[in-house]
Amino acid sequence: MVNPLDPKSLNDCAENQSDSISRLNFERWSKKGAVDAYRKWTDLYAPEQVIFDKLRDNLRGWDVLDIGVGGGRTTHHLHDRCGSYIGIDYSFEMVKQVRSRFKNCDLRQEDARNLSKFKTNSFDLVIFSFNGIDYVGHEDRVSIFFEIQRVLKPGGHFVFSSHNRDFSGVAQFGWRSYLSTDSVRIFAKKVLNLIPSILDHYRLKDYETQEDEYALINDDDSCFITYYISPTAQISQLERLGFGKTEAYSLDGSLCHQHVPRDDDWMIYYVTQKID
Ligand SMILES: C[S@@+](CC[C@H](N)C(=O)[O-])C[C@H]1O[C@@H](n2cnc3c(N)ncnc32)[C@H](O)[C@@H]1O
């Protein structure tokens, strides 16, 4: 596995497709535009609110690992409400800016694909919020699930979200996002950026793939390769990797009935557990 935090491994290892996708997205999460955008957000999404409310009574005594903290949106809601809190992100720029906001918090630059700095069975709750897990290739996603399972205590919870492949408007790169914006300033910015993003999109085409279980797509005007999976496939994937019972939540915070999302559920939240 190529470790983007270790320049030696970038030179030494032959890169496979999953490595390339992870490296490409890693570079993009370190850009100023991404860091600036995520710094501003503090509100929880409805499913996060519902899930945190359900866990609230236990949270006080729990050791929590928050992966992919980005701008610290979830740090804001968790760091002083649990037994212990560690936030990690593999983008040093993200970690730097979140450290400047939460001075007494344990925030580290670490890659979810390699959690060897953390002991086996050490966390009651691991979080990877707002689709952070969707920015690695498939093999790396599997490594992340195994690492999370290892560091969770038996019975520990894992909360994360992922892009929904069953969403009726699964985004493909195109004109949709240009036409749908209602801010003149954002529209003008996008028009200016049109040629570079079309060129970028053609460069990223080689990384796109549609598999039975999942798809990797350069969606809308984003500069990332993003993992999409349906709730049914995500739940089977977790079962196959040894996790226990999983619940899927719609964007409005309701439980997905028989794992069937609502039409506008472009992302789904999942709560799963390490088997006791
Ligand atoms: C979509 S942002 C979400 C940020 C934040 N969790 C939130 O909800 O606002 C995804 C974050 O995950 C981080 N990330 C992606 N892959 C990661 C990995 N393998 N290890 C650690 N962080 C990762 C990115 O750097 C980025 O900050």
Two structure tokens written together for 138: 């498939």
pLDDT by residue (tens digit) across 218-231? 987 678 999 999 99
Q: Which residues line ligand 1 (CB under 6 A)?
A: 29, 38, 41, 67-71, 73-74, 88-91, 94, 111-113, 129-132, 135-136
| Per-residue confidence band for 10, with pLDDT thresholds at 50, 70 and 90 | very low
Q: When comparing pLDDT for 159 and 37, which is higher?
A: 159
Pocket test for ligand 1, best of 43, 51, 67 (most atoms within 8 A of CB): 67
Interatomic CA distance for residues 38 and 27, integer angstroms: 16
Alpha helices in 156-230 (DSSP H): 176-180, 184-192, 194-204
Q: When comparing pLDDT for 259 and 80, which is higher?
A: 80
* CA of 94, closest atom in ligand 1: 27
| Per-residue confidence band for 7, with pLDDT thresholds at 50, 70 and 90 | very low
Share of residues in the chain with pLDDT > 90 (%): 66
- What pTM was estimated for this model as a whole? 0.91
- Give me ligand 1 centre to Cα 139, in Å: 17
Residue of minimum CA distance from atom 15 in ligand 1 = 132
pLDDT by residue (tens digit) across 119-139? 999 999 999 999 999 999 999
pLDDT by residue (tens digit) across 166-222? 987 776 655 555 555 567 777 777 777 777 778 888 888 889 999 999 999 998 767
Domain 38-165+230-273 has CATH 3.40.50.150: yes
Q: Where are the beta strands (DSSP E) in the chain?
A: 63-67, 84-89, 106-109, 123-128, 152-164, 209-210, 215-217, 226-229, 247-249, 267-273
* CA of 38, closest atom in ligand 1: 9
**CB-based burial, 45-54: b 16+ in 10 Å, e otherwise:** bebbebbbee
- Give me ligand 1 centre to Cα 67, in Å: 7
pLDDT at residue 39 in the model: 87
Interatomic CA distance for residues 120 and 136, integer angstroms: 23
Residue spans of the domains in the chain: they are 38-165+230-273
